[in-house]
Structure formats: C-alpha cells, structure tokens
Amino acid sequence: MDWATLEPSLNLTEIGEQAYRLIAELYPLCRSITGEGVRQTLAIVQQHIPLTVHEVPTGTRVFDWTVPKEWEIRDAYIKNAKGERIVDFRNSNLHVVSYSAPVRGKISLTELKEHLFSLPDRPDWIPYRTSYYKENWGFCLTHNQLLSLDGESYEVLIDSSLRAGQLTYGEFYLPGTTRDEVLLTSHICHPSLCNDNLSGIALLTLLAKLLASQPRCYSYRFLFIPGTIGSITWLARNEARVRRIKHGLVLACVGDPGHSSYKKSRRGDAEIDQAVRHVLEHLGQEYEILDFSPYGYDERQFCSPGFNLPVGCLMRTPHGRFPEYHTSADNLDLVRPECLADSFSKCLAILNVLENNRTYLNQNPKCEPQLGKRGLYSTMGGQAEARVNELAMLWVLNLSDGMHTLLDIANRSGVAFDTLQRAAQALLQHGLLKECVKAASRPPRTSENEGKMNPTAIGDTRRKGSKR
Ligand SMILES: [Zn+2]
C-alpha cells in the first residue's frame, strides 16, 4: 500500500456516504451479544466482504468465562387498561433490556417500576441497558413515558428465550507478503445505536473491502465480535496465533462530529501508538491521545497482561463523553458521512505508516552525498516543496544507520511520514539507500527489541509537548 498513489484515487465523499448507508441498513436490527441480530448483521457485512462466520456453542469455557445462552426476542410491550401498547418493542428495540428473560402477565405499577429504566435528565430519550450475566427482565422508556404511567396495573410481555445456542462472530483474513498481522476489530453487539457501535462496523467493512484491492506487506485480520465475550472467545480459540499480531486497532465511535481520539495500547509506546500519534499530529486538526486504562472496548482483553498486544482504540468522541451515548439519541442524526470519511482516511494513513515503516542503511555514510549532481533536488515536486523535500532527504540519509525506522526519523525531524517515505523512495532509486531487512522477513518486534527501535529522546520530548 502506498499512500501517495492511493490517496488521489480515493473518493472520500462516496466512502462516507457508503458507510452511512450501511449504518442505516444495520440500524433497525436488534443485536445483542448472541442471537439472530448478530447473524443478520454479519450477513449484511458479507454482501461487502467474504467474512467467515464462526459459531461457538453455549457452555464453551473461554478462559475464566463461559459462552452464554443464546438470546432470542420476538416481541415485547407494556399495555394499559385499554389494551394499548404504550411501550412497544416494535417502535424501538431499545425498549427491552437486552438479554431480558421472558415475562408475561398483569402486574401492579409498583412492581413494574422496579423493572423500568429512564433518563430523568433527558426525558425524551430511551436509555440502552443490558443484563447479560444476571438473569432479569426490564423495559427502557423515555422519562416522559414513565411519568405518564398512572394506572394501577399493566399487562407486560417479553416474548424472549434464553436457550443453549451459539455465540456468533465474523472473521476476515487478508494475507499479505508477510504472516505478521495487523488486527482490526469492532464490536457488533449493540442494537439500534449508530455511533457506538454501527460506525465501527461500517468503517471496518469498507476498510477491509479497500485493503483487499491493495498490495499489502502485512496480513490483515478483521474481527466483527460481540464486545468482551467475543474478544475473550476469539483469544481463547486463537492463542497460538496471537504472536503474529504486530499492531492492532479497535474501531469505535468513529462517526460523530467530535475530534479524533486515540487510546494507547497498554504498552504505551508500541509502533501503533506512535503511528497514530504521528498521523493525528500532522493533520493539523484538534485531537486527543488518551493513556491506556483497563476500561473501554475490546482493547481491554487484547491488552490483558497475559497477551499485552499492541492494540489501541481509535475513536472520535470517546464512549461516555457524548450525551447521546447509550441512548436512543445515538441515532442516524448523530453520525455524519463526512465524519465517517474523515475517520476512514485517518485509518488508511495510519496503516500506510505501518506498511511503509522500514529501516534503511545509508550507502554513502561518510559525509553527505552530493544530491545536486544526481538531480535529486528537482525530482521531488516544485519550488515550494523543494526545501521540505531536501530536508526530508537529509534526515533520511543522516538517520538511516540501520537503527532508526522512518517513523523514528519522522518523530525526531518533525517531517511528515509520507514526505520522508517519498524521500526514501527517491534515495533508493539513486542507490543511496538500501533496505535493512526485507519486508517479507521482518523479524517479530518483541518487547526486547521494541525499545531499540525508538531511541530518540528528542522525539519523546516533542511527543510530550504536543500531548493534550
Ligand atoms: Zn457501548
């Protein structure tokens, strides 16, 4: 993959609209951590990419967890004395607490209220609630609906079942020239909620579709998994494969108008952490870098100490920090095609850094090579860019001692990665550089040699300086 050739050919407006259309198509489905909603979601994703769907039986032990019963929901309502459905699952699947056990009968308002959830501060919004690991039932409704309940008793129905079944997840593997992998994941377990989490599913699908058409150094693994239990299940079934994962990103909340945020991996200084920071820093937009914490999306499992994978989480406004989070207001009005397109473009820029972050050796290390006589000052762009390009070549030549990757050079010089990438290409063509290790046989970057690849104290200072 080469950003310089890829970027001009991208129609980001169309990609944003495609992502939005996919969100709109997935929006009505009632997803949960298991069940038909997940299967229907994966079937729609399969219309875009040849996803493999895995089914793992209820009761399967996965580390300290057990694959739960499969939940199915057909209908649910609260009826008043006139027989009117005053809370109706058919109007919004958020009305039922996800994983509710079945219930049917007439109950008093007092008893009913113990099973009702609303948001007094947002009286027109329906909250999203789950009860995955404790058998219970409940309804979510607007606070205005709750206040209007004045009858003595109500008829309630939750026509659901909790039975031995399957946990379903989707996986798509794209081989590259090396078996080293980039892991890209999104959770798929939320019902009608757009930013968290349909934006992640849509972006992951379109990224997979595009990467399938590009030359790739890394192999890519895309996981569409129910949150928490899905990543735990995948890790339990693929423990032997995990060492191939060199970089990873969890995509969540990537469609709202807020600025981009990135939550670092547990390691904090992994190549993915540096790559994301570099891309966000050089775009000139507002952004935020968050330290790792053991709370959030599936990075929690990938970054558990037994795995400690270099997996961060790319978001716009982080979960819990936009008022619409986990409510019916996280709807088709909250996510925007242009924001989805912007997140998509950032993902590609990050992957471009990973794909092209090579280490070179200067073939003329004793004093500077004479660039002018090789025509190198004029081969890269016009007058305005000449100074930047010359500086980029000088940085690449100076730090290409076999110890610095292009990203290290970018961090130390302040020059954008893609400018350095073009400079390195020009120098390679003139025989002034040689790649240290062939991409196909890149050694695995263990935590021991990771430190050696990022030795720049100046780069560290710059990074601290730009942290928000
Ligand atoms: Zn959520």
Q: What tens digit of pLDDT does each residue of 8-65 get?
A: 889 999 999 999 999 999 999 999 999 999 999 999 999 999 999 999 999 999 999 9
CA of 345 to the centre of ligand 1 (A): 24
Query: How far does the centroid of ligand 1 lie from the alpha carbon of residue 171, in Å?
Result: 21
Closest CA relative to residue 298, chosen from 350, 345, 342, 245: 245
CA distance 437 to 217: 13
Give distance in angstroms: CA of 389 to centre of ligand 1: 44
455 pLDDT higher than 90: no
How remote is the CA of residue 195 from the centroid of ligand 1, in Å? 9
Lowest mean pLDDT among 24-28, 314-318, 351-355, 462-466: 462-466
Q: Six-digit token pair at 420?
A: 């350095």
Contacts of 382 (CB under 8 A, 6+ apart): none
7, 139, 141 from 107: Cα distances, Å: 61, 14, 17
CB 56 within 8 A of CB 38: no
The mean of the pLDDT values for the chain is 92
The rounded Å distance from CA 129 to ligand 1 centre is 10
Q: Give the up-direction half-sphere exposure of residue 374: CA atoms within 13 A in the CB hemisphere.
A: 15
Summarised one tens digit per residue, pLDDT across range 276-291 is 999 999 999 999 999 9
Beta bridge partners of 172: 222
CA of 365 to the centre of ligand 1 (A): 53
Residue 383's pLDDT band (cuts 50, 70, 90): low
Q: What is the distance in A from the centroid of ligand 1 to the CA of 190? A: 7
Strand partners, 274: none
Question: What pLDDT, on a 0 to 100 scale, did the predictor assign at position 378?
Answer: 64
- Rounded to the nearest angstrom, the distance between the alpha carbon of 390 and the centre of ligand 1 is 47
Span from the CA of 32 to the centroid of ligand 1 (angstroms): 11
CA of 332 to the centre of ligand 1 (A): 16
What does the pLDDT look like over 290-311, one tens digit per residue?
Answer: 999 999 999 999 999 999 999 9
- Whether the Cβ atoms of residue 122 and residue 62 lie closer than 8 Å to each other: no
Give the pLDDT of residue 456: 31
b/e code 240-270 from CB counts within 10 Å (16+ = b): eeeebbbbbbbbbbbbbebebbbbbbbbeeb
Average pLDDT over residues 215-240: 97
Q: What is the pTM of this model?
A: 0.91
- Of 224-233, 239-248, 339-348, 438-447, the poorest mean pLDDT is in 438-447
In this structure, which residues have their CB less than 5 angstroms from ion ligand 1? 196
Q: 326 C-alpha to center of ligand 1: Å?
A: 6
Q: Is the pLDDT of residue 250 over 90?
A: yes
Q: Is 16 strand, coil or helix?
A: helix
Q: Report how far ligand 1's centroid is from the alpha carbon of 300 (Å).
A: 14
Ligand 1 center to 132 CA (angstroms): 13
Higher pLDDT, 133 or 187: 187
Tallying the residues shown for the chain, one arrives at: 468
**196 CA → ligand 1 middle, Å:** 5
Confidence of residue 384 (pLDDT cuts 50, 70, 90): low
